[in-house]
């Protein structure tokens, strides 16, 4: 009871302090907007500061890269939005942090997104976008920014590493199971942390072009990108291109009455990087080894309740192994208890198919896993919020069966 | 609907007042700040339809007579609409105790909220078919800043005043405040969240006072 009271007092003090700072943020906001040519050209620089802390057990789960049990992860994100009339839109996002995914490493500065969007018709029936930007697949990318994500972490399927590497192809089923931590491991060394890939790597800011639009209750989007959805951030930029093996993705959406948004997505693209060429059979093309994905997404919003769900069935064509399937999904909800206090709950699960083993028989090529993410959030002002999250996950793994993650994230946006 | 332009409305009102008999009036002009640029929309991860229409709102001020006045038993319901991804009007002065409705005339969700000390609320997400129209009673004087959780460029203000005598200026800063009680008061002109000008006035029955705010 004392702890709750102390937390309430602390929140009230913080809210009072931040309310004062909000006027300053408004002033900064005004100063970072410019217009010219009678308002026909308008640009705004905005951003957010995230201060995150994580506490977990080793080995660090998901995409966290740290040798310790805790991780401090500050991040500055800068956004540029510019409009030239009603038909030309440009945006960019740059980040300064310790790595794209939380890591115990040095500071770096990256240009994560930049794109030019042309909208020839006023009703938005067709948009052409070129640059480096988030994938059109699913509905997670619409809310992956820290301000819009009611929890701290991404859904499991966007960050759970599989036994598939993108820089080297496995030599056998046994190697695949070893990399996936299925069955006994010969040593404590675990290289998969920096080499494995998930079904979709975060928002998948690949480089390419997209066509999208809204026609009545339907929405469509199709993109051609230089990397597959599972590809790591280092491969997203135009400099790290795999244009010889482009990835094609698309989504068709249906909004029956505004409350619901339903979508069907598909994607296919080569997931092995050029560095993996020596590890595939001589004469084999990397383009023959693809990640093919089909997905469904749904979202619902009504008053103070929001629900989201995505399910993806992915197939990786693996040299010398064949097809390896995995299914990942989550169901997530957010409810506002008061104008400023909200809570979020997410159920995640990922399952793996079986592959034929060289020694005979078959075995799962990954460890089935489920994870529950839950936590409250509090918006002190329209520019500042604090989120807490506790996650518990259970995995049929040789590394650790059940573990917990505690995360806290403070965000100030301007 | 084709509302009268503010300056025409002021003229019409003055003519009507003259026709109905003399009354106590304050009129004048408030020097307004320069118009601000239209906001820039964040369209990074969504396709904002309506062709990116952005309504620009020239600055206006609210002139009101500060004092102690009896509160009426009931007040008319006012509206602040959401249309073309913007609030309309962008600034709404109301008397304490007024109920304000927030109809959504867009074909997409809006989620109006305010964290202002004078009124803290969150209407949640609703469409144009929402009935009854979501509303709030503004029962504490002060400035209420409205936001939309979905469209971050949307902003509006509700100025809750503890007086029945207030009026918005036209876009040139001209105003006319009529039907005022005689006596000594403070006349105030609210320009923005940080600027409220004021000047003492002495109102004499059935007369017109010129009061400018330079």
Mean pLDDT, all residues of chain A: 90
Strand partners, A369: A350, A395
Contact call for A306 and B44, based on CB within 8 A:
no
| Lookup result for tokens 């010398």 | A320
pLDDT in tens, A208-243: 999 999 999 999 999 999 999 999 999 999 887 768
**Which positions in chain B touch A127 (Cβ < 8 Å)?**
47
What local confidence, expressed as pLDDT, does residue A26 receive? 72
Opening angle at CA A316, ends A311 and A319, nearest 5: 170
Cβ atoms within 10 Å, residue A101: 17
What local confidence, expressed as pLDDT, does residue A282 receive? 84
Length of chain A: 414
Is pLDDT at A63 greater than 90 in this prediction? Answer: no
Q: Which residue has the higher pLDDT, A1 or A141?
A: A141
Is pLDDT at B4 greater than 60 in this prediction? Answer: no
Interface of A with B in 372-411 (CB under 8 A): 379-382
Average pLDDT over residues A41-58: 92
Q: How far is CA A259 from the centre of its chain?
A: 24
pLDDT in tens, A150-191: 999 999 999 999 999 999 998 888 888 888 888 766 544 555
**Which positions in chain A touch B48 (Cβ < 8 Å)?**
124
| pLDDT band at residue A6 using 50, 70 and 90 as cut-offs | low
What local confidence, expressed as pLDDT, does residue A363 receive? 85
Distances (CA, A) of B104 to A15, A104, A332, B121: 30, 47, 27, 17
Average pLDDT over residues B179-187: 95
Q: To the nearest whole percent, how much of chain A has pLDDT over 70?
A: 91
What local confidence, expressed as pLDDT, does residue B47 receive? 72
Report strand pairing: A247-254 vs A70-84: unpaired
What local confidence, expressed as pLDDT, does residue A185 receive? 60
Opening angle at CA A402, ends A396 and A408, nearest 5: 130
* Of A96-105, A301-310, B9-18, B93-102, the least confident: B9-18
| Lookup result for tokens 């206090």 | A341
Burial of B169: CB neighbours in 10 Å, binned 0-12, 13-18, 19+: buried
Helices then strands, each counted (H, E), chain A: 2, 19
Interface test with A, best of B35, B37, B145 (most A CBs within 10 A): B37
Report strand pairing: B208-210 vs B25-29: parallel
Q: Is A38 on the interface with B (CB under 8 A)?
A: no
What local confidence, expressed as pLDDT, does residue A173 receive? 86
By C-alpha distance, which of A123, A379, A158, A133 is closest to A238?
A133
Cα–Cα dist A274/A276, whole Å: 5
What local confidence, expressed as pLDDT, does residue A398 receive? 61
**Which positions in chain B touch A380 (Cβ < 8 Å)?**
115
Contact call for A301 and B125, based on CB within 8 A:
yes
What local confidence, expressed as pLDDT, does residue A31 receive? 80
CB A86, CB B53: distance < 8 Å: yes
Cα–Cα dist B213/B198, whole Å: 8
Interface test with A, best of B33, B44, B57, B110 (most A CBs within 10 A): B44
Contact call for A83 and B120, based on CB within 8 A:
no
Among A143, A259, A382, beta carbon nearest to B147: A382
| pLDDT band at residue B57 using 50, 70 and 90 as cut-offs | low
Cα–Cα dist B35/A245, whole Å: 51
| pLDDT band at residue A403 using 50, 70 and 90 as cut-offs | confident
Cα–Cα dist A368/A372, whole Å: 14
**Which positions in chain A touch B125 (Cβ < 8 Å)?**
301-304, 306
Contact call for B52 and A86, based on CB within 8 A:
yes
**Which positions in chain B touch A34 (Cβ < 8 Å)?**
37
Q: Which residue has the higher pLDDT, B34 or A136?
A: A136
Cβ atoms within 10 Å, residue A10: 10
CB A414, CB A76: distance < 8 Å: no
Domain ranges for chain B: 1-25+63-69+166-205, 71-162
By C-alpha distance, which of B135, B39, B154 is closest to B86?
B154
| pLDDT band at residue A50 using 50, 70 and 90 as cut-offs | very high
| pLDDT band at residue A399 using 50, 70 and 90 as cut-offs | low
Is pLDDT at A276 greater than 70 in this prediction? Answer: yes
**Which positions in chain B touch A119 (Cβ < 8 Å)?**
51-52
The token pair that represents A142 in the structure block: 């619409």
As assigned by CATH, the class of the B71-162 domain is mainly beta
Among B44, B50, B52, beta carbon nearest to A83: B52
Mean pLDDT, all residues of chain B: 87
B187 CA: distance to closest CA in chain A (Å): 26
By C-alpha distance, which of B46, B136, B59, B119 is closest to B85?
B46
CB B193, CB B34: distance < 8 Å: no
Decide: helix, strand or coil at residue A22: helix
Report strand pairing: A341-352 vs A322-336: antiparallel
């Amino acid at each position: 009871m004392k702890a709750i009271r102390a937390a309430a007092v602390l929140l009230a003090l913080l809210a009072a302090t931040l309310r004062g700072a909000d006027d300053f943020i408004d002033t900064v906001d005004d100063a970072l907007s410019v217009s010219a040519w009678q308002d026909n050209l308008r640009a705004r620089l905005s951003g957010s500061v995230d201060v995150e802390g994580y506490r977990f057990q080793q080995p660090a789960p998901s995409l966290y890269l740290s040798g310790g049990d805790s991780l401090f992860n500050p991040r500055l994100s800068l956004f540029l939005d510019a409009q030239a009339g009603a038909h030309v839109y440009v945006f960019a996002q740059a980040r300064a942090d310790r790595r794209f995914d939380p890591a115990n490493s040095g500071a770096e500065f990256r240009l994560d997104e930049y794109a030019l969007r042309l909208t020839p018709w006023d009703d938005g029936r067709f948009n052409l976008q070129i640059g480096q930007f988030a994938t059109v697949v699913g509905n997670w990318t619409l809310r992956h920014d820290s301000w819009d994500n009611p929890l701290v972490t991404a859904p499991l399927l966007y960050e759970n590493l599989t036994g598939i590497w993108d820089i080297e192809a496995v030599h056998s089923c046994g190697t695949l199971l070893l990399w996936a931590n299925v069955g006994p491991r010969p040593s404590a060394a675990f290289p998969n942390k920096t080499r494995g890939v998930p079904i979709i790597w975060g928002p998948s800011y690949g480089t390419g072009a997209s066509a999208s639009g809204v026609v009545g209750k339907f929405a469509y989007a199709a993109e051609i990108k230089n990397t597959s959805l599972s590809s790591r951030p280092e491969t997203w930029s135009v400099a790290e291109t795999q244009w010889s093996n482009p990835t094609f993705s698309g989504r068709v959406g249906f909004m029956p009455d505004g409350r619901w948004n339903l979508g069907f997505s598909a994607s296919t693209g080569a997931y092995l990087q050029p560095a993996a060429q020596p590890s595939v059979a001589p004469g084999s093309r990397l383009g023959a080894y693809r990640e093919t994905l089909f997905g469904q997404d749904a979202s619902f919003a009504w008053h103070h309740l929001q629900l989201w769900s995505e399910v993806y069935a992915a197939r990786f064509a693996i040299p010398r192994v064949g097809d390896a399937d995995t299914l990942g999904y989550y169901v997530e909800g957010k409810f506002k208890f008061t104008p400023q206090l909200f809570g979020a709950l997410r159920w995640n699960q990922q399952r793996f198919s079986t592959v034929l083993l060289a020694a005979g028989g078959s075995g799962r090529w990954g460890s089935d896993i489920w994870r529950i993410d839950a936590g409250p959030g509090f918006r002190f002002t329209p520019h500042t919020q604090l989120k807490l999250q506790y996650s518990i996950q259970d995995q049929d793994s040789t590394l650790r069966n059940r573990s917990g993650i505690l995360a806290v994230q403070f965000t100030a946006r301007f | 609907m084709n509302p009268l332009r503010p300056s025409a409305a002021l003229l019409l009102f003055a003519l009507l007042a003259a026709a109905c008999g003399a009354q106590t009036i304050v009129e004048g002009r408030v020097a307004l700040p320069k118009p601000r640029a239209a906001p820039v929309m964040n369209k990074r991860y969504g396709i904002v339809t309506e062709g990116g229409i952005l309504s620009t709102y020239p600055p206006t001020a609210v002139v009101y007579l500060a004092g102690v006045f009896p509160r009426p038993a009931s007040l008319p319901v006012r509206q602040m609409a959401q249309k073309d991804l913007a609030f309309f009007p962008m600034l709404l002065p109301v008397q304490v105790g007024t109920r304000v409705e927030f109809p959504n005339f867009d074909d997409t969700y809006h989620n109006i909220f305010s964290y202002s000390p004078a009124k803290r609320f969150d209407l949640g997400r609703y469409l144009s078919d929402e009935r009854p129209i979501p509303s709030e009673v503004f029962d504490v004087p002060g400035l209420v800043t409205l936001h939309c959780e979905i469209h971050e460029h949307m902003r509006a203000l509700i100025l809750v005043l503890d007086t029945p005598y207030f009026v918005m200026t036209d876009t040139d800063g001209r105003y006319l405040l009529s039907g005022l009680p005689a006596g000594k008061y403070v006349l105030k002109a609210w320009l923005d969240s940080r600027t409220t000008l004021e000047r003492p006035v002495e109102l004499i029955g059935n007369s017109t006072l010129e009061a400018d705010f330079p």
